[in-house]
Structure 1
Amino acid sequence: MAATSFTAPPLSAAPAAPLIERAKLFGNPSRAQLRVSPDGKYLSWLAPRDGVMNIWIAPANDVSKARPYTAEKQRPIGQHYWSGDSRMVMYVQDKGGDENFLLYGVDVASGKETLLTPFEKTRVQVVGTSKAIKDKILVGLNNRDARWHDVHLLDLGTGKLTELMRGDGFAGFLADDTLTVRMALRPNEAGGYDFFRVANNKAEDKPFSSTTLEDSLTTQPAGYTADGSTLYWLDSRNRDTAALVAQDVASGTTKIVAENPKADIGGTLTNPLTGVVEAYSVEYLMTDWTAVDPAIGADIAFLKGKLKGDVSITSRTDDDSVWTIYNDPVTGPPTAYLYKRGTKALEKLYVTWPELEGAPLVPMRGVEIGTRDGLTMTAYLSLPPGSDANGDGKPDSPVPMVLFVHGGPWARDSYGYNPYHQWLANRGYAVLSVNYRGSTGFGKTFISAGDLQWGAKMHDDLIDAVDWAVKGGITAKDKVAIMGGSYGGYATLAGLAFTPDTFACGVDIVGPSNLETLLKTIPPYWTAGIQQFYQRMGNPNTPDGLALLKERSPLYKADRIVKPLLIGQGANDPRVNQAESDQIVSAMRAKNIPVTYVLFPDEGHGFHRPENNIAFNAVAEGFLGKCLGGRAEPIGGTVKASTAQVPHGAEFTPGLADALKK
C-alpha cells in the first residue's frame, strides 16, 4: 500500500525503503512453537486454522500429514505442551483475556479434547511433571480460594484430580521426578520468601532457607535432578548477580556451577532424563550459552557455526537424539529446524513469517547508557533503513525517535527480532528500548535501585536515555515519542504528565494511571506477592506510602499534559483494570485536553487477537505520523475488522473517524 504523510516533516532525508505492511509484522505466523514429542514419533506446532492459531500435529517422519487437533474460533492458543507419555498435547486458555487459564488436553490417537480443569474463575498452574510417571502431572488450582493454589495430582488418562496439599499462605511449590512435593515457598514480612521442606504433603514448621526483599527476584529454586539428590538454585545471596548453585540435598552443602559479574544466570539446559544441568545462559547485551557437558558443547558449537544469530533449543526427545531449534537472525524472520544429533543433520522445517523474507528489516544494536547517578543501562537501538550509510550505529542525520518502554517493570528488553522495532524503524523512526533500573537480569543491586522509584529515578533513567540519543545525534530533542505497555504505559503517562515538555506525544497501552487503585485491584492470586509490591512501590496502608503512591500517579497531574496522547485498553484486563484508563481519559476530558481512547471488549492485558493488535497499531501509526512525521499505512478496514471501540477522541487521530464509519 502507498505511504501517507501527515503534518510534521521528517528530520531525515534517508531514502525511503518499501513500506512493510502491518499485517505482515503483526498477523499470524505461518507456524510457531515447533516441538518434538518425548518419544520422537510426532512433531507439533501452532498454526492458523480458519485464521486462529491452533495446535497441529504430524508424524515426525512425514510432516505432510500434519492436521489440526484443536478448533479455537476466537482467541489464539499461545502455548502447548506434550505429556510425558507422548499420548496427549495440552494447552491453557482463558476467556477474553481474563487470565483465568484452564488446562485442556487432546488425545493424539483419537483427537478427543478434554477440559482437564473444569472450573469457573480458576487459574491453573503446572506444579510438576515427571519423566518417570508419564501419565500424570501436578497442578495448582485456586478454585477453592482465589488467593491460593492447592496442589492436585492430575491423571491425564482419566482426568481425575486428587488434592494433595492446601496452598493457604504459600506462593508456590516444587516437586521432584516422582511427583512428590518437596518444597513450599511462603512470602515473609521482609519482602522475600521462606523455603520449607515438605514431607507427606505437609510443610515443616520452620523454614530451612529464606530471602529478604533484595534477593526475592534473583533467588529461587530451579529444580531437582531426577534422582532427587541435587537441588539447583539460581541464587544471589552473598553476591550481586544470581549464580547457578547445586545443593546436595542430603548434606545441604552447595557448590557454584556458574556465575557472571554482569548478569544473572538466566536459563539452564538439563538432561531430559537425569535432570542434570548440561549448559547455562547469561544475557547481558546478548544471550550467550556455555556448556557444562562437553558433548552438549559440541552440539551447541555446531549449531552456532551453521546458523546466524541467536540459537535456542526448544525441545528434546527422551533419548536426546532429536532436538527442535529456534533460530533468530534479527534481520530476518525466525526459523525452526529439526536437528538429529547422531548424524548432525539440520533440517529447516519452516520460516515463521515467510512473507518477511527479503523485506527491508534492520539490525538491532545493543548499547550501554549511563545514568546521572552512575548506573549502566543496557539498551537496544534500531534505525530506519537507509539512515546509517556508514554502518556506525548512528543515523547520518538525526531522525525522529520512539522510546519504547518495556512492561513489568520487573522484566527486561532483549536482543532479537522485534516486530515493534521493525515496524517503527520502517516508518522512519529510530527505536530505543532501555533496561531502566528495576529491570531484571542484571543483579539485585540494579533491581533494588528501582525500589520506591516509580515515576522518579526510574523515569530519570528514561530521560537520561533520551538525552543520550539527542547528544549522540540519533534524534532531535523535540522529535521523541514515548510508547509502551503495562509499566511502559505507566511510563508514557508519567512522561507526559511529569515531564510535559520532554516528549512530543505518547502511546499508552494498558498502563496504570493511579498506583493506589492499581494496588487495590490486583488479582487475588497475586496476594502472595503483595508485600513485595508494597515495599517496591509504596504501601497504601501507611500515610507515607499512600502519599508516595499519589505523588507518583499520573492521574493527579493529568492537567499538566499538553502533548497528544493515545490510549489502548482491554476491557477484561485483570492486572490493570479498565478504570485505570477510564479515569485519566475523564480527567483529560474535563480539562479539554485531547486524548484518543481505543477500547477492546474481548481483550485483557495486551492485545492477543491479531486483528485487534493490527487495528490498534494502525491507529498508533497514524497518530505517530501526525506527531513525528513518519510514514503511515492507511488505517483502511483494520478497525472495522477488529472489536475496537473508540469511546473518545477519534477526531484527534488522522483517519480514525472515517475508519469507524466504513
Structure 2
Amino acid sequence: MSLLSGRHGRRIIFWLSLLLLAVAAFGCAAAKTAPVVPAIAAKPVIPPLIPRQVLFGNPDRAGVQLSADGQKISFLAPVDGVLNVWVGPADDFTTAKPVTSDKKRGIRNYFWAYTNEHVLYLQDKDGDENWRVHVVDLRDGSDRDLTPYPGVRADIQAVSPKFPTSILIALNNRVPEYHDLYRVDLLTGELSLAMQNPGFADFVTDDDYRIRFADRITPDGGLEYLKLADDGQWQPYLQIGADDAMTTHLVGFDKTTAGIYLLDSRQRDTAALYWQNVASGERKLLAEDPRADISDALVHPTEKTVQAVAANFERKHWRTLDQAIAPDLEYLRGLDDGDVEVTDRTVDDARWIVAYVKDDGPVRYYLYDHRARRAKFLFTNLQALEHLPLVKMHPVSIPARDGLSLVSYLTLPQESDPDGDARPAAPLPLVLYVHGGPWSRTSWGLNSMHQWLANRGYAVLDVNFRGSTGFGKNFINAGNKEWGGKMQTDLMDAVAWAVQAGIADPAKVAIMGGSYGGYATLAGMTLTPEAFACGVDIVGPSNLETLLESIPPYWKPMLDVFYTRVGDPRTDEGVLFLASRSPLTHADQIRRPLLIGQGANDPRVKQAESDQIVKAMKLSNIPVTYVLYSDEGHGFARPENRLSFFAVTELFLAGCLGGRAEPIGKDFAGSSIAVPEGAAQVPGLIEGLNPPGGGN
C-alpha cells in the first residue's frame, strides 16, 4: 500500500500543495528584485525539406522472404531504378544477386515455390492488372511466362509443400467473368485443367490441391459457400447474409483438412476466429476482440495450428494462443521498438523473418533463429530515412454527429508540436487524406504521404469513416448506400473536430485521396463546395452509374455487393439515387482549385471517369488541372510517375494552402506525365514540363 493512499494520504498531498504554492508566491519576497524582462519564445526550428525522391522512390529492400528450407533469402530491390527479385544465402544477404530483369514497372508480388529453386512472380502491362505468372529457375536463370495469354488475368490459387514442382493457378481465358483452375508444372510449363468454373466467384483448396469449397454472391449481396461432395456435386454449406458477408469467410484448413478455420461475425459484431469440423459443423471459438475484427494470425507451418492472433483497433495487438511460442513473442517484443510482424517462417520453423513497423522510422528486418531464440539484424527497408526529421502518427478517436466513433490518425509538422502532445501551438493548414477502398482501412505506421505533407507544413488527418473495415460489421454496414452521404459527413465531422481542437485553420483545409478517396475528394468539392480550399483526386470515380457499368469483367460475379452497398442502377429509383451521389452531376458547383491524376490503363476506375468531369468543368468554365499517365493503371506504380505527380501536387498545395515546396528539379525525368488540361493553374508546372534545353 502506498503511504499516500487513502484519506490521510490525500490530506498530506493537499497540505504539500499549499506549501509549494506559498513558496512559489513568497519565497523571494525579501530579496531584491530585478526588472522583469518578458521571455522571448524560442522560434520553432523548421526541419529541412525531406526529398520526394526518398519518400516516393524505391525502397532499398522490401518483401523479405526465406526459401522453404531456410537456406536462401530473397527481397525486392532496385536494378537500374526498377524493383526486381534478389536472392542470396540466408546467412549473407550482402551477396544476393538479382534473379529477375524487369525493365519498367517493377515487381511487387512474388513467392517461393517449395522446390527451393524456383521463384514465382506476377506482372501486368502498364497497370492493366491482367497479371501473368512467371517462374524463375535459379539453377539456370531462365524466366518462363506460364500464362502468356493477352487480355487474360492470372492469379496464384495455391502453393503446397506436398507438390513442390507444381502450383494451382486461376485463369479467365475461357470466359472473362470467371476463373477456371489449372495445375501448372513448374519444370515443363504444362497446364492441366483442374476445375472449369460453373459460375463461382472463388474457390477454396487444400494442400492436397483438392477443391473443397466455392463461393458465390447472392442477389441480396450475401455470400454462399458450397461444398464439393464426393460425387462431384456442389452442396450448400454456409449461408451468410449481406450484413455479415464482409466479415465472415473461410480462411484455411487445419492439418487434417477435416477442420477449417473461419472468421465469423454472425450473432456478434466483430469477426472472431473459429475452428469448425467440416463434416459435423461442430465449432470452437479460438479468439475474439470486442472492438476490432481478428485481422492476422500466426499459423504453424506444418502443424497448421493457430499460435497467435492480432486485432487492430488503433494499433495492432497480438494475443498468444499457443504457449509454445509465448517466449518467442516475449523476446521479440523486447528486441526493438515498433509493432512486431512475423512475415515468414521456414517449413521446419527454424528460421523466421521478423519486421518492426514504426511510425517515425523505416521498417527494421531481423532473421530470427527460433531454436536458439536469437535474432540477427539484417537491414532497414530504406536507410535514407534513418536520420531524417520524421514525425509521430497519433491515433485519435473522433465522434461522428450520430455518435459513431471514428478511429483516425493525426500527423503534425515537427516544428508545430515540440512537446508531442498532438496539438499544435496554433491552427495549421490541414490535408484531409481519405483512404481508398472504401472497404479497407487506414492504420498506424510509417506513411510516406503523412511524412511528406507534415514536412511541408501541413497537419494531416486520416479518417476511418463508416464503411471502413476492421471495426466490426455494424461499422461497415453503416456505410451501405452512404457514398456521398454519411461516409462524407464523417469526413466533415473530422474536419470540424480538428478546427474545434485548434489543429486546423478552417480557411486552409484541403481534401485528397485515391480511388474511393478520389471520389470523396470530388464529392467534397461538389457537394460542399465552400468547405475545402482545394482538392486532389487520384483515380477517383466521378459518376457512380458509369463506374458500375465499366468494372472489370472478373468483378461481375460480385456486382450484387456493389448494388447492395453503393446503389442499384437496375431500378429507376436506383439510377436517380446514384446520380444524386455522383460528383459529375454537381460538377458546376465546384468553386475551388482541383487537381486530378489518372492512369490511362486503369481497369477499375476507367480514364473516362476523369475525362468526363474535366469536360463538364470546362463546359462550365471552371478551371481544373488534369495529369494523365499513359503507362499507369489504378495508381502510380512507377517511381518516376509517383515523383512527377507528387511534385505537381506539392506545387498545387503550396499555391492554395501556403506550405513549403521542393522545386520540381529532375522529378519529371523518365515519367510519362502529360497535362492535357490546366497546366497554367499550377505555379511552375509549365516550366517543369518545358525545362530549358528540353531535358529534365
Decide whether aligned partners of structure 1 residues 624 and 248 sit closer, same or farther in structure 2, where only a CA change above 3 A counts: same
Give % identity.
50
Aligned pairs for 1:193-592 (under 5 A) are 193-199=223-229, 202-204=232-234, 206-592=235-621
What is the aligned partner in structure 1 of residue 18 from structure 2? none
Residues 600-615 of structure 1 aligned to structure 2 (within 5 Å): 600-615=629-644
SS of the residue aligned with 1:645? strand
Q: State the distance in 2 between where 1:202 and 1:584 align.
A: 50
Identify which of 115, 123, 126 aligns with 1:93.
123
Distance 1:530 1:168 in 2: 17
Deviation at 1:203, TM superposition (A): 4.4
| Stretch moving more, 637-646 or 401-410 | 637-646
Q: How much has 1:64 moved relative to structure 2?
A: 3.1
Q: CA deviation at 1:201?
A: 8.9
What is residue 13 of structure 2 aligned with on the other side? Answer: none
* Structure 2 residue corresponding to 1:177, chosen from 207, 221, 228: 207
RMSD of the alignment, in Å?
Answer: 1.3
Q: Deviations over 1:268-305 (max 9, x none)?
A: 11111122211111000000111111122221111111
Q: TM-score, normalised by structure 2?
A: 0.92
Is the CA contact (8 Å cut-off) linking 2:133 and 2:156 kept in structure 1?
no
For residues 607 and 54 of structure 1, the distance between their equivalents in structure 2, rounded to whole angstroms, comes to: 17
Deviation at 1:630, TM superposition (A): 0.4
Which blocks of at least 5 consecutive residues in structure 2 are unaligned? 1-41, 692-696
3-state DSSP class of the match of 1:221? strand
Could you say which residue in structure 2 is the equivalent of 1:621? 650
User: Partner of 1:121 in structure 2?
Assistant: 151
Answer with 154-163 or 595-604: which moved more.
154-163
Aligned AA (1:45): F
Confirm or deny: 8 A CA contact 1:236 1:242 kept in the other structure.
Answer: yes
Name the SS for the 1:122 alignment partner: coil
* Alpha carbons of structure 1 residues 64 and 392: separation in structure 2 relative to 1, 3 Å: closer
Structure 1 residues 392-425: Cα deviation after superposition (integer angstroms, max 9, x where no partner): 1111111111000000100000000000000000
Instruction: Work out which structure has the larger RCO, using CA pairs closer than 8 Å and 6 or more positions apart in sequence.
Output: 1
- The alpha carbon displacement at 1:152 in A equals 1.1
Residues of 2 paired with 1:15 and 1:294: CA distance? 49
Whole-angstrom CA distance in 2 between matches of 1:423 and 1:201: 59
Whether contact under 8 Å (1:176, 1:226) holds in the other structure is no
Matches of 1:337 and 1:122, distance apart in 2: 38
Counterpart of 1:645?
674
User: What SS is found at the alignment partner of 2:597?
Assistant: strand
Partner residue in 2 for 1:634: 663
Residue type matched to 1:307 in 2?
D
The counterpart of 2:67, out of the listed 15, 25, 37, is 37
Q: Tell me which residue corresponds to 1:142.
A: 172
| Residue identity in the other structure for 2:276 | Q
SS in 1 for 2:628: strand
**C-alpha distance in 1 between matches for 2:473 and 2:93:** 46
Structure 2 Cα separation of the partners of residues 382 and 317 of structure 1: 37
**How many angstroms apart in 2 are the aligned matches of 1:653 and 1:415?**
32
Give 1:165's aligned residue.
195
- CA deviations on 1:249-279 (whole Å, 9 max, x unpaired) are 2321011101111110001111111222111
| Distance in 2, Cα, partners of 1:190 & 1:435 | 26
Matched residue SS, 2:507:
coil
How many residues align structurally? Answer: 650
- In 2 relative to 1, CA 45–362 (structure 1 residues): closer, same or farther, beyond 3 Å? same
What is the CA distance between 1:612 and its match in structure 2?
0.2
2:45 to 11, 15, 19: 15
Q: Give the C-alpha shift of residue 555 in structure 1.
A: 0.5
What are the superposed Cα offsets for residues 22-56 of structure 1, whole Å, 9 maximum, x if unpaired? 00101111111111111111000010111100000
The residue that corresponds to 2:132 in the other structure is: 102
Deviation at 1:637, TM superposition (A): 2.5
TM score, norm. by length of structure 1: 0.97
Larger Rg: 2
Shift of 1:199: 3.5
> Where in structure 1 are there 5+ consecutive unaligned residues?
1-11
